Amino acid sequence: AFTSVVGDAGVTIANALTVPVTTGDSYTVIVAVEAVREAACAMNIPLRGATAAVVGATGAVGQVCAELLAEDVERLYLIGRRQAALEELRDRLKARARAELIVSTRMDVLANAQLILTVTSAIHDVIRPEHLQPGSVVCDVARPRDVSAMVAAARDDILVIDGGMVDVPGPVDFHFNFGFPSGKAYACMAETIALALEGRFEDYTLGKHLTRERVEEIGVIAKKHGFRLSGFRSFEREVTPQHIEAVRRNARYARNVRTAHM
């Protein structure tokens, strides 16, 4: 999985081996975007009128996540470190995007977003409590995490979810403790398993450029074999309906307090 973060995203490894290699990034995209959509529903945020943001938008995973979300929402912030690369991405996405596309290198624009998907390759957290509006959803796909643990500690009006965990079909024993309940795995791992079940013994997702076609294809393959989004987890803990209701309630209170002080 971490070949997508360090090195050349599996290319050198694949060239040195006789077995197929995949980073798992294609299925990671599908699961991350699905998680954002389901979390928006849980938080009563209508997608068609929502403002969303992708942090790390010019990365391999971020680009395709942005492409998919741009067809769902009203406004989409593309956030990254390099202005020129962001503008190039915006220009490429314009043709199919439903959303208004806005580029930024600043994290404070996250205060405008209700839905945030973050997938940088930073070695430290990049999203902090002061960046977020009450009632927003943050899906953290990055490892190491992009979202500071302080967000969970200081903001009980924000829904932070871990991106990329799925239910694996059938009785499965990985013979290793990944910190998940039994039968669950990261989407990047699940991509490998799904390809094996499908008999697709090939280098599937390699390098820093993902294609939408491959992303959508692995989504179909995984669904065919019974893989599915495994509910929500936040900082390795299950997110219950009671927790989501508490976040909604706290967000309403926080918004009322802000309005009263305006």
For the chain, give every domain's residue range.
1-262
The answer on pLDDT for 117 being more than 60 is: yes
Section 232-240 average pLDDT:
90
pLDDT band at 7; cut points 50, 70, 90: low
**Helix/strand/coil (H, E, C) string of the chain?**
CHHHCCCCCCHHHHHHCCCCCCCCHHHHHHHHHHHHHHHHHHCCCCHHHCEEEEECCCCHHHHHHHHHHCCCCCEEEEECCCHHHHHHHHHHHCCCCCCEEEEECCHHHHHHCCEEEECCCCCCCCECHHHCCCCCEEEECCCCCCECHHHHHHCCCCEEEECCEEECCCCCCCCCCCCCCCCEEEHHHHHHHHHHHHCCCCCCCCCCCCCHHHHHHHHHHHHHCCCEECCCEECCEECCHHHHHHHHHHHHHHHHHHHHCC
Express each pLDDT in 163-181 by its tens digit.
Answer: 878 999 998 888 888 778 8
The whole model's pTM is what?
Answer: 0.92
- pLDDT tens figures, 68-105: 999 999 999 999 999 999 999 999 999 999 999 999 99
Q: What is the pLDDT of residue 2?
A: 57
Q: What is the mean pLDDT of residues 141-154?
A: 90
Looking at the structure, give the CATH architecture of the domain made up of residues 1-262: 3-Layer(aba) Sandwich (3.40)
